[in-house]
Chains A and B, each alone.
Chain A
């Protein structure tokens, strides 16, 4: 019997072993463990966990099916709300969403909703259980731009309602950030992402890769020439930011996007693929978000000594606690309250080190976090051969600059309403990072759902 105060522990790869391979860190529950954990759910009438879920999964509903051992039905309960449960079970910040609201969490640990979702979704992938699609098509054509979390969710929801949906993807693989951003060891590409996308295709969604909207064709042309009646833009975050310090264009300085794209999308970690990656022997990752943790843990697996350089203290690290914990277990060194001043470059134009300065926390700034302030005279140099800048992104202008009447805000993000994804342009909806700036997979999925709802309402009235 499960301890009612504690989660059934989940098996993980040993930190020493996993720091040298790209296999998944977390091994997940088996059926026995999942059923055991499910008994901890109180099946609250007024379930707070559902409120915490951006896509409103009937959590007590699916957990009670797990408790009964009826995993297939549990999957159909989740499938009503989420197109990507195997992904969400792995990468959602459950601690601040569903599990953060769980009543069990008041006295002890909350129910391990994320791990249960993952178990159910993996079971469905293994047993090839298909989601339930539309009974008949309604004849309306909708285009979705981007095959990341928001686009896939929007496409899946619309297909279930009978729409004829085509997803356009700029890259050569489907999945957006799920394939180029999140590493294999957190989210396996073939075993999980590809299979979960195949389920969206099973709903009747069509995919066209290698189409860069704004270049290969435009939003206006899709509406006017290709017969699409509505469009959802889920084109993702965009251009990586740099610090603007001296030496930043040296060989050996990468954006986290480039470093991760080479490793994840182009599989540079695998010698049988043609794309190279500079592994580095001593690597600094600048930044403290989830992307920084992914880059740091990737560099570690490629054999480097890795430092995370972050200007605030541990309490302010924007990354999930679980990711920081995993990174530390794997031997990543955290240089906190430290900020780069200059990248030192050798005669060949390659990185040889970084000048940094110690910081202390001052008064709270606009974000409510205490502002880091330089400690005068505390500069020192560290020897390095690789620097990965993980400072966030600014929106890609490819779509907004080529679409008539599509308004953006002062941060150049597309303006769209939260409830239904409506933009300033008729028939065009948007959501995910293209609207909010870089955020999480599940928030993007929530926006994809909202967009699908908005498009359904719009086309139902037409």
Chain B
């Protein structure tokens, strides 16, 4: 059993938890993820690692309610436990593995959309701890759904917050901010790391291709075991089929077939399933709309 030491609601339908998992905390690096399973009958749900404390043996996870399992997670309080908590899975972010001298010369831009702020945060924090300040764009649907703003502010170089509806910060999509930074302000970046809903990553990549800004994305497709065994998470990346769980989750954004990945992530959202979710969750957004990629 893996005890929850802290449970906090960050925003509408978005939750943060500190979980005691010493083996994961001792070995995880920015960019990796874990798989968590509530109880005997639960699903294996992959979640990104938002932070970790090696000494306390804790791992911080952030998740959004998107279906029945995450709905159950949201009910948990400090003192409750997950039956299973496995990781760290996937490869660490390329940044972590890069030569420090060449990394220090780089100008890095992060683009986080929605709960994508959670996996972006540990990378920005890691860079900050190594004396590198990266620029960060955080996009959110509304002010109420914005997360980790203060935390991000503390570790980012420049932080640009934008909301789709203009309720906070700038108004509009993250792509507009990228254009502003690069075209209007004349900023130069060597690499962009974009993490968020697939539809956001797709449009970021379409733009950065035009801007000739190399872009890394982090994919979170449907998974079962998370160790390479089942192939549910396979993606078309250039000419190759890649498994997000062992080859990723980070890939060259120019090469990912986002349209296929978005279709694949809809696989279990049948008409019937959508109706059931609607019944349980009312008319709130749960990723089955067909527009957002259904992830997070």
For B232, list chain A residues within 8 Å (CB).
Answer: 254-255, 258
Residue of A at shortest CB range from B261?
Answer: A249
For A212, list chain B residues within 8 Å (CB).
Answer: 86-87, 89, 227
Asked if B234 contacts A172 (CB within 8 A), the reply is no
A-contact bits for B12-52, CB 8 A (1 contact / 0 none): 00000000000110110000000001000111100000000
Residue of B at shortest CB range from A396?
Answer: B228
The segment from A58-66, A270-278, A447-455 that touches chain B is A270-278
Known: A249-B264, A261-B224. A396 touches B246 (CB 8 A): yes
Within the complex, the shortest CB–CB distance from A396 to chain B, in Å, comes to 5
Q: Is A107 an interface residue, CB under 8 A from the partner? A: no
Identify B231's interface contact among A209, A258, A272, A278, CB under 8 A.
Answer: A258
Q: Is B121 an interface residue, CB under 8 A from the partner? A: no
Please measure, in the bound complex, the distance between the C-alpha atom of A216 and the C-alpha atom of B29, giving whole angstroms.
Answer: 11
Identify B229's interface contact among A210, A216, A239, CB under 8 A.
Answer: A239
Within the complex, the shortest CB–CB distance from B59 to chain A, in Å, comes to 12
Residue of B at shortest CB range from A389?
Answer: B231
Is chain B's binding surface mostly helix, strand, loop or mixed?
A: mixed
Known: A258-B232, A276-B268. A249 touches B227 (CB 8 A): no
Q: Is A266 an interface residue, CB under 8 A from the partner? A: yes
Q: Is B196 an interface residue, CB under 8 A from the partner? A: no
Total interface residues on A, using CB and 8 Å?
A: 40
For B224, list chain A residues within 8 Å (CB).
Answer: 258, 261-262, 266, 275
Asked if B41 contacts A255 (CB within 8 A), the reply is no
**In residues 226-261 of chain B, which contact A (Cβ within 8 Å)?**
227-232, 234-236, 241, 243, 246, 260
Residue of A at shortest CB range from B85?
Answer: A210
For B86, list chain A residues within 8 Å (CB).
Answer: 170-172, 210-212, 216
Q: Is B106 an interface residue, CB under 8 A from the partner? A: no
Within the complex, the shortest CB–CB distance from A82 to chain B, in Å, comes to 26
Asked if A172 contacts B83 (CB within 8 A), the reply is yes
Is chain A's binding surface mostly helix, strand, loop or mixed?
A: loop
For B275, list chain A residues within 8 Å (CB).
Answer: none
For A238, list chain B residues within 8 Å (CB).
Answer: 228-229
For A303, list chain B residues within 8 Å (CB).
Answer: none
Within the complex, the shortest CB–CB distance from A429 to chain B, in Å, comes to 22
Asked if B41 contacts A267 (CB within 8 A), the reply is yes
Question: Which interface residue of B227, B235, B243, B267 has the most chain A CB atoms within 10 A?
Answer: B227
For B68, list chain A residues within 8 Å (CB).
Answer: 274
Within the complex, the shortest CB–CB distance from A350 to chain B, in Å, comes to 8
Question: Which interface residue of B87, B225, B231, B273 has the most chain A CB atoms within 10 A?
Answer: B231
Asked if B266 contacts A249 (CB within 8 A), the reply is no
Within the complex, the shortest CB–CB distance from A223 to chain B, in Å, comes to 16
Asked if B263 contacts A348 (CB within 8 A), the reply is yes
B-contact bits for A175-209, CB 8 A (1 contact / 0 none): 00000100000000000000000000000000001
B-contact bits for A221-246, CB 8 A (1 contact / 0 none): 00000000000000000111010100
For A248, list chain B residues within 8 Å (CB).
Answer: 241
Interface residues on B, range: 35 or more
Within the complex, the shortest CB–CB distance from B271 to chain A, in Å, comes to 11
Asked if B44 contacts A251 (CB within 8 A), the reply is no
Asked if B41 contacts A172 (CB within 8 A), the reply is no
B-contact bits for A248-288, CB 8 A (1 contact / 0 none): 11011011011001100111000011111010000000000
For A171, list chain B residues within 8 Å (CB).
Answer: 86, 225, 227
Asked if A396 contacts B229 (CB within 8 A), the reply is yes
Known: A239-B228, A239-B229, A398-B227. A249 touches B236 (CB 8 A): yes
Q: Is B88 an interface residue, CB under 8 A from the partner? A: yes
Within the complex, the shortest CB–CB distance from A151 to chain B, in Å, comes to 15
Please measure, in the bound complex, the distance between the C-alpha atom of A171 and the C-alpha atom of B243, giving whole angstroms.
Answer: 18
Asked if B27 contacts A216 (CB within 8 A), the reply is yes
Question: Which interface residue of B85, B232, B266 has the most chain A CB atoms within 10 A?
Answer: B232
Q: Is A45 an interface residue, CB under 8 A from the partner? A: no
Asked if B264 contacts A215 (CB within 8 A), the reply is no
Question: Which interface residue of A248, A275, A278 has the most chain B CB atoms within 10 A?
Answer: A275
Within the complex, the shortest CB–CB distance from A1 to chain B, in Å, comes to 48
Q: Is B167 an interface residue, CB under 8 A from the partner? A: no
Please measure, in the bound complex, the distance between the C-alpha atom of A215 and the C-alpha atom of B245, giving whole angstroms.
Answer: 12
Asked if A274 contacts B43 (CB within 8 A), the reply is yes
Please measure, in the bound complex, the distance between the C-alpha atom of A306 and the C-alpha atom of B267, giving whole angstroms.
Answer: 21
Asked if A172 contacts B23 (CB within 8 A), the reply is no
Of the A-B pairs whose beta carbons lie under 8 Å apart in the complex, a sample of 27, sorted by A's number, is A170-B86, A170-B227, A171-B86, A172-B83, A172-B84, A172-B86, A211-B86, A212-B87, A238-B228, A239-B231, A242-B231, A242-B241, A248-B241, A249-B234, A249-B241, A249-B264, A254-B232, A255-B232, A257-B231, A258-B232, A261-B224, A261-B229, A266-B44, A275-B224, A278-B267, A396-B246, A398-B228
Q: A261-B224, A278-B267, A349-B260 are in contact. List 12 more A-B contacts (CB 8 A).
A: A170-B86, A170-B225, A172-B83, A216-B27, A238-B228, A239-B231, A242-B241, A258-B224, A261-B229, A274-B42, A275-B44, A398-B228
Chain B interface (Cβ within 8 Å of chain A)? 23-24, 26-27, 37, 41-44, 68-69, 83-89, 224-225, 227-232, 234-236, 241, 243, 246, 260, 263-264, 266-268, 273
Q: 8 closest A-B pairs (Cβ-Cβ)?
A: A349-B263, A258-B230, A172-B84, A255-B231, A210-B86, A274-B43, A216-B23, A240-B231
